[in-house]
Amino acid sequence: MAADREGPRAFVDAALFMGMHSTDDAVRIACKAFFVGRLHDRVAMSLEQVGRCDDLVWGFPRHVQDAYYPFMDNLHTDMRVDRCGYDLADVRHALDGAPEPAELPGHERLLIAMVGHRQGVLHTVSPRLLAHPGLPVVAPARPAYEPSFPEPLERLYQVSLALRVTAAQL
């Protein structure tokens, strides 16, 4: 699988994706800047992480979901997001000594195994993952200002901010 920007393949998780709607503006802006900056690049996201985003959004009232989903739908259409399922090699990597700390939940161990096996880097705001040096994870850069998506995506993003998530939800 091809790397983007001539580096390791960029993976994103639900924490980074939903971080664009964080109640913490520093986190929100860093996550948004990642996606604005990579809008024309390719990123990968496990199907499980896509489902974790949906599971979180479905916990909000319908009117909030209706404000959120047009942005998400358009972003997933405009940006090349490779949605990948785990394959047997990913699972074997998780079971046969991938460097994941045992205290990580199973979904994060599988994600890290997928990223490592596929020679990628996971972009995340998960404090649990970022607390383990040596894992193929990086935090998004904190920009000096809030960038904007091209229109009409920025307008949809602003409406989607009816949905805000706390650090505990990420």
Q: Identify the pLDDT of residue 2.
A: 41
pLDDT tens, 75-134?
Answer: 999 999 999 999 998 888 877 765 566 778 888 989 999 999 899 999 999 999 999 988
Band (pLDDT 50/70/90 cuts) for residue 7 is low
Measure CA 67 to chain center.
Answer: 20
pLDDT tens, 16-71?
Answer: 999 999 999 999 999 999 999 999 999 999 999 999 999 999 999 999 999 999 99
Strands 120-123 and 42-46: unpaired
Give 96's DSSP letter.
Answer: T
Residue 1: pLDDT over 50: no
Q: Identify the pLDDT of residue 158.
A: 98
Band (pLDDT 50/70/90 cuts) for residue 6 is low
Residues linked to residue 120 through DSSP beta bridges, in sequence order: 9
Measure CA 69 to chain center.
Answer: 16
Q: Identify the pLDDT of residue 93.
A: 81
Band (pLDDT 50/70/90 cuts) for residue 73 is very high
Q: Identify the pLDDT of residue 122.
A: 98
Query: Does CATH place domain 9-165 in 3.40.50.300?
Result: no
* Contact between residue 8 and residue 119 where contact means Cβ atoms under 8 Å apart: yes
Cα distances from 139 to residues 27, 117, 154, in angstroms, run: 10, 20, 23
Q: Identify the pLDDT of residue 98.
A: 59
Residue 151: pLDDT over 70: yes
Classified as helix, coil or strand, 119 is coil
* Contact between residue 28 and residue 20 where contact means Cβ atoms under 8 Å apart: yes
In angstroms, rounded to a whole number, what is the distance separating the alpha carbons of residues 36 and 49?
20
